[in-house]
Amino acid sequence: MTSEEIRYFFHAGRKDQIVELAMNNAGICDLSRVLHISINTVVRILENLDSSV
């Protein structure tokens, strides 16, 4: 498995977690803290989710 594939699977799993938690009224700071990722990453994923719908 290449590093690009690992990055893709990591991101895909995080995206699902972020969406699930966001739908349950978790705030951006809460998501960042619980998932151990930056606030900017959470915001970027949520923005991209909106444009892909």
Share of the chain above pLDDT 70, in %: 72
pLDDT of the residue at 7: 63
Distances 42 to 2, 9, 24, 28, 49 between C-alpha atoms, Å: 24, 16, 15, 7, 11
pLDDT of the residue at 29: 92
> Quick one: average pLDDT of 5-23?
75
Cβ proximity of 37 and 15 under 8 Å: no
pLDDT digits (tens, 9 = 90+) for 26-48: 899 988 888 888 899 888 888 88
Q: How far apart are CA 37 and CA 34, in angstroms?
A: 8
pLDDT of the residue at 4: 62
Q: How far apart are CA 27 and CA 53, in angstroms?
A: 21
Domain count across the chain: 1
Give the number of other CB atoms < 10 A from CB of residue 39. 12
- 10: domain range? 3-52
pLDDT of the residue at 20: 87
